[in-house]
Amino acid sequence: MTRAEGKVADNEGTWRDWLGRWLNIALAVGAVIALIGTLILWGEGAFGFLLAFVALFPAALISALMRWWPRRSAEGVRSGLGWRRRLYISAGGLAFTALLCLLAGVAWFGTAPGTMLLVAGTMLLPPAVILGLLAFSLRERGRLADQMLYEDERIVYQAEIHWGVFIPTILVLTATLLLVLAPLGAVGFSLATILYLIVLPGTAAHALSVFLNTELEMTRRKLIAATGLIARTTRVLERDHIQAVGVSQGMLGKILGFGRLSFICRDGTSFKVRGVVDPEGLRQIIHQRS
């Protein structure tokens, strides 16, 4: 590197440090202002400041952790935090913020600040759970095919998982927003709370499990399948051991080109793989014996 290039790199590093420092300060100040507005106002104004606090406070905490969290030593020169580390820090920041708001809300229960903090902590719980599951699902793990196959075996087909598995999650989130915005009063807010706290994390966890942790591959002799987010189920079958393969596609699946494959084995066992792109084409490939 020449002296001029080194000077440019130093200037870029100084600029990034300055920008990162002031970004942290701006987020922290914004979170404080939002919290004060939440506590001193009433009605829609307080709810607007509450939404701002729910977004700004965890953003300030996560930004500070990414900037000042100590890095591991003896790893050579690194250009920045790895994406897995960023994901873990983001999930931890959201979870810590939610817990802090809930504890403060319980401590001041019965007061306006306590109510607002309880609502803030409740709103942060589903994103914290979803981001934590995402971080867990993306942990380092080798492909099943690399562990189960012999050296002379070659993958002839690898199934893809369609983004359409997230459609139920998108629909639940849309319904939640509509119930909050619709003039339904307490009934609308109650239904939105149920969808947001219970249904949304469940559908998101299932979609993440299917999209990120499903593995379906074939060699000329074997079928390799793995499913599951936390408890992972793996199967390695001889293709001749598969008696039948069924395809199930709903209306959206037919339009977007994805569906569910159901496998029935000769020993009577069965299993399903969801969200597979072009399931009918894959079924025909599985039944080929060449």
| CATH code of domain 214-287 | 2.30.29.30
pLDDT for 143: 60
Average pLDDT of 230-259? 85
Q: Which of 57-71, 134-148, 238-252 has the lowest mean pLDDT?
A: 134-148
Q: Which of 79-83, 108-112, 247-251 has the lowest mean pLDDT?
A: 79-83
Using one digit for the tens of pLDDT, what is the confidence trace for 82-115?
Answer: 666 777 777 888 888 888 888 888 887 877 777 7
Percentage of the chain lying above the pLDDT 90 cut: 6
* Predicted confidence (pLDDT) at residue 122 exceeds the cutoff of 60: yes
Rounded Cα gap, residues 223 and 288, in angstroms: 12
Mean pLDDT for the chain? 77
State whether the Cα torsion 228-229-234-239 is positive or negative: positive
Top pLDDT among 57 and 147 is at 57
DSSP per-residue letters across the chain: --HHHHHHHHHHHHHHHHHHHHHHHHHHHHHHHHHHHHHH--HHHHHHHHHHHHHHHHHHHHHHHHHHSPPPSSS---SS--HHHHHHHHHHHHHHHHHHHHHHHHHTTTSHHHHHHHHHHHHHHHHHHHHHHHHHHTS----HHHHHS-TT----EE--B-GGGGHHHHHHHHHHHHHHHSS-HHHHHHHHHHIIIIIHHHHHHHHHHHHHH-EEEE-SSEEEEEE-SSS-EEEEEEGGGEEEEEEE--HHHHHHTEEEEEEEETTS-EEEEEEEESHHHHHHHHH---
The structural domains of the chain, with segments of one domain joined by +, span 1-69+80-140, 162-212, 214-287
Rounded Cα gap, residues 158 and 219, in angstroms: 9
pTM attached to this predicted model: 0.67
